[in-house]
A and B are shown apart, each in its own frame.
Chain A
Amino acid sequence: MKRFLRIVCTASLMLVTALLAAADFDYDLSPRKVAEDTWVVVGRNEDFSFENGGNIVNSAFIVTEEGVVLIDTGPSRRFGEQLRKAIARITDKPVVRVLITHHHPDHFLGNQAFPAASIAALPGTLEGIRRDGESFNENMYRLTGDWMLGTEVTVPGQELTPGPITVGRHRLELLALDGHTGTDLAVFDDSTGVLFAGDLLFHDRAPTTPNANIPRWLASIERLDALPYKVLVPGHGAPTTGRAPITQTRAWLQWLQATIRSGAENGRDLTEMLDLPLPPQQARLAVSGAEYRRSLSHLYPAAEQAALEHGGTGHEH
């Protein structure tokens, strides 16, 4: 009898846990107004986790009289669906255009909640989603668990051409840049001065580099900084009327590049590089230690190889 009771208790405990978990798959998305007609759903400055379900990224939308323009759809089907509902709480206009800034999973795996024909990205991003989408999706399951349930890769149905587009009274400049990945879209709204920078800019959070080319990325930041922006919307971290996303991202990348180059040129082993303490300016950013170590794994091998090729080596025959 005791044993039977224990089984019943365990079973009901499991049921309660399952129900709680199900009730919990709520990203609690509340759009923040950053300019006229312009809203941002701001993610947390964290790593992917079972707790945040991948809600570490910004999605933004512009409400025009012709309908809503959405920039990035988030990390999962559930996120995309909840985003659609969050938009519907602000406006009854339909989402008419969805722009995807780049092919990283937290920026496009919410696509399923929107008609593929309304979703557009630059050609390099479409190629990246076709190539890496499935493995990114699997990896997100590993990192965030059941938040991802039912998420499938949806390739955008439209190819974007860089240049100006007009939606309602908003004139949007589409900029084809690169450096964070091989293809990074930034969107500048001439009418409000809002610059949607995608992951070319991070704010109070260390930048991620799995597909980065730092010199190209720094050049793209200069292009962004030359625009007459009034509000910066980074890919990760809070939108701001200040310049912090530009100065922080640039400083991190310059420091990272210099650290990696001098480490490799001085013959440091990767295990020694992993142990280096971060300078205070970099250590202040969220997830800085983890991103530094990940970046070494992405970028140090090429720097080592370049340093070794400057050594004195010959072959005997």
Chain B
Amino acid sequence: MKLASLLLASVLLCCGHARADAPPTDPLESARWDDMRKSFFDGQQVVFDARVQVTGPLTAENPMNVPVAVNASGLPGVRQVIVFADFNPIVRILDFTPGAADASLAFRIKLQQSSPVRAAALTADGVWHVGGTWINTTGGGCTVPSTGSASPEWQSRLNEVSGRMWPREGAGERVRLRIIHPMDTGLAPSVPAFHIEELVLADGDRELMRIHTFEPVSENPLFTVDLPPGADPARIRVSGRDNNGNRINAWVTR
């Protein structure tokens, strides 16, 4: 699946360069691409770029919990990465600003129907570099209430963080975090939208990554963040809030 999306992206990268003036054609051939381009990148320069890798299953077994990994670390000087799914009822999934961390992030999403899932990385020159992959699903991921909202148990553990750090092969470090939150989309009958909005990973004063999450991020979100060699944090502070103003405040050590 990775190979296929890479090949597609590289084919289009060539086309994109050959005709820099015309908007590049979508390698994923989505009927919604023009809308996506207008709503996210209106008046800005967009290229399809194989260095922005989006990995996910060809078919999602569980539409409530579809694993996606975004890796733009092959691209120098990434300022921001936004992630969206063309055909989701709520298109925007999350965005992140890599500070000292790599420009890569893995997470889980809710998919309502088969859709391209894309990441766009903004570089210092103001160009958006777009990669993506199609993920197929039988649907129903966004309009089902979370199990959390149906049970009282989560309330006492809301915004509780479990996290752990691992040394990466070679060098650097990996951090994985899971936060207890129902992440309700507001699309299920009589369940209002209730989701984490912001999450900041920091090592003292040094920001490692800032993540803004939207409704399509799965219940009890799990994030995988990679730190480059030399970042060596002894203790990572995790702070943030949800759209009801509840705070997240935790730390992770090795």
Contact A308 B176 (CB under 8 A): yes
Give Cα A267 to B254, complex, Å: 12
Q: Which residue of A lies closest to B60 (CB)?
A: A297
B81 vs chain A, min Cβ distance (A):
16
* Residues of B contacting A310 in the complex (Cβ-Cβ under 8 angstroms): 164
A275 proximity list for chain B (CB < 8 A): 2, 55
CB nearest to A307 among chain B residues:
B164
A294 CA / B60 CA spacing, docked (Å): 9
Identify which of B160, B165, B253 contacts A315 (C-beta below 8 A).
Answer: B160
Task: Collect the chain A residues with CB atoms within 8 Å of residue B62's CB.
Answer: 297
The verdict on B163 contacting chain A, using a C-beta distance below 8 Å, is yes
Q: Could you say which of B60, B222, B249, B251 contacts A304, with CB atoms under 8 Å apart?
A: B222
Most chain B CB atoms below 10 A, which of A269, A297, A301, A312: A269
Partner of A305, one of B106, B162, B166, B254: B162
Q: Are A301 and B164 closer than 8 Å at their CB atoms?
A: no
Contact A270 B160 (CB under 8 A): no
User: CB-CB < 8 A to A92: which residues of B?
Assistant: none
Decide yes or no: A274 and B57 within 8 Å by CB, A311-B162, A314-B250 being known contacts: yes
Pairwise interchain contact B165-A311, C-beta atoms closer than 8 A: yes
Assembled-state Cα–Cα distance A40/B164 (Å): 51
Q: Are B166 and A271 interface neighbours, CB within 8 A? A: no
Using Cβ atoms and an 8 Å threshold, which residues of chain A touch B61? 293-294, 297-298
> Which B residue sits closest to A293, measured CB to CB?
B57
Contact indicator per residue, chain B 138-179, by CB within 8 Å of chain A (1) or not (0): 100000000000000000000011111110000000101110
CB–CB B106/A271 < 8 A: yes
CB nearest neighbor in A for B68: A271
Q: Return the contact of A313 from the options B56, B69, B174, B250 (Cβ within 8 A).
A: B250
Contacts of B160 in A (CB 8 A): 315
The verdict on A312 contacting B224 (CB below 8 Å), with A271-B69, A293-B61 known, is no
Q: Are B251 and A314 in contact (CB under 8 A)?
A: yes
Are the CB atoms of B67 and A308 closer together than 8 Å?
no
Q: How far is the CB of A144 from chain B (nearest CB, A)?
A: 13
Contact check, B56 vs A317: say whether CB atoms are below 8 A apart: no
Interface of B is mostly: strand
Whether B65 is near chain A, meaning CB under 8 Å from some CB there, is yes
Shortest CB-to-CB span from A270 to chain B, Å, is 4
Nearest-CB residue, chain B, relative to A143: B138
Determine whether B36 belongs to the interface, using a CB cutoff of 8 Å to chain A.
no
Chain B 53-79 interface residues, beta-carbon cutoff 8 Å to A:
55-57, 60-62, 65, 67-69
Q: Tell me whether A308 and B162 are in contact (CB under 8 A).
A: yes
Q: Is the CB of B174 within 8 A of A267?
A: yes
Q: Tell me whether A311 and B252 are in contact (CB under 8 A).
A: yes
In A269-317, the 8 Å CB interface with B consists of: 269-272, 274-275, 293-294, 297-298, 301, 304-305, 307-317
Interface of A is mostly: helix
- Would B106 and A308 count as touching, CB distance under 8 A? no
List of A residues within 8 angstroms of B250 by Cβ = 313-316
Do residues A270 and B67 form an inter-chain contact, with CB atoms below 8 A? Answer: yes
- By CB atoms of chain A within 10 A, which of B56, B176, B249, B252 has the most? B176
The total of interchain contacts (Cβ-Cβ below 8 angstroms) comes to 85
Residues of A within 8 A of B254 (CB): 312
* Cβ–Cβ contact A311 & B67, under 8 A: no
A171 within 8 Å of B (CB atoms): no
Q: Establish whether residues B224 and A313, one from each chain, have CB atoms under 8 Å apart when the complex forms.
A: no
Contact A316 B251 (CB under 8 A): yes
Taken together as a complex, chains A and B put the C-alpha atoms of A162 and B70 apart, in Å, by: 51
Q: How far is the CB of A150 from chain B (nearest CB, A)?
A: 22
Q: Is the CB of B251 within 8 A of A313?
A: yes
Interface residue from B55, B237, B252 paired with A312 (Cβ < 8 Å): B252
- Is residue A266 within 8 Å, beta carbon to beta carbon, of the partner chain? yes
User: Any chain B CB within 8 A of the CB of A142?
Assistant: yes
Q: Mark A14-33, 1 if CB is under 8 A from B, else 0.
A: 00000000000000000000
Q: Looking across the interface, which residue of chain A has its beta carbon closest to that of B62?
A: A297
Q: Which chain B residues lie closer than 8 Å to A298 at the CB level?
A: 61
**Structural contact, B249 and A269, CB atoms closer than 8 A:** no
CA distance A272 to B68 in the complex (A): 10
A167 to B249, CA, bound (A): 65
Closest residue of B by beta carbon distance from A313: B163
A274 to B135, CA, bound (A): 14
Which residues in B have some Cβ–Cβ distance to A below 8 Å? 2, 55-57, 60-62, 65, 67-69, 106, 108, 138, 160-166, 174, 176-178, 222, 224, 237, 249-254
Interface pairs (11), CB distance under 8 Å: A274-B57, A297-B62, A301-B222, A311-B163, A313-B162, A313-B163, A315-B160, A315-B249, A315-B250, A316-B237, A316-B250
Known A-B contacts: A267-B164, A271-B106. Give 15 more (CB < 8 A).
Answer: A266-B166, A267-B176, A270-B106, A271-B67, A294-B61, A301-B65, A304-B178, A310-B164, A311-B164, A311-B176, A311-B252, A312-B163, A312-B253, A313-B161, A315-B161
